[in-house]
């Protein structure tokens, strides 16, 4: 199922790839390829609400990783993630 595949891609994604000291180009290319695969899989999902929720979940995870790199935490991350997962699993 495409939804499960999209969620697997997200769970396996290295959100902190840009922190690599060595092999930055390799990690960048890998991250870009994974993101493109995610976009392709999501585009094949017929339900527009689920497509939007998956895209928003990707963005939320990205924003959370960026906050973590800056030594912060998103206060409402888990709540927003749960809301999106409710849409995706409906």
Give tens-digit pLDDT for 60-77.
999 998 898 888 888 899
Q: How many separate domains does the chain show?
A: 1
The model's pLDDT over 3-39, given as tens digits with 9 standing for 90+, comes to 999 999 999 888 777 776 677 778 888 889 999 999 9
Quote the domain boundaries for residue 19. 2-88
Q: pTM (2 decimals)? A: 0.87
Over residues 40-61, mean pLDDT: 96
Q: H helices of the chain, where?
A: 2-12, 24-43, 48-69, 77-88
How far is CA 79 from its chain centroid? Answer: 16
């Amino acid at each position: 199922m495409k939804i499960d595949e999209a969620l697997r891609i997200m769970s396996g994604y290295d959100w902190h790839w840009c922190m690599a000291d060595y092999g930055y180009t390799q990690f960048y290319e890998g991250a870009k390829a994974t993101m493109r695969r995610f976009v392709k899989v999501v585009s094949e999902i017929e339900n527009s609400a689920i497509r939007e929720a998956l895209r928003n979940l990707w963005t939320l995870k990205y924003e959370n990783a960026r906050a973590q790199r800056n030594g912060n935490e998103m206060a409402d991350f888990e709540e927003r993630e749960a809301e999106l997962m409710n849409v995706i699993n409906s």
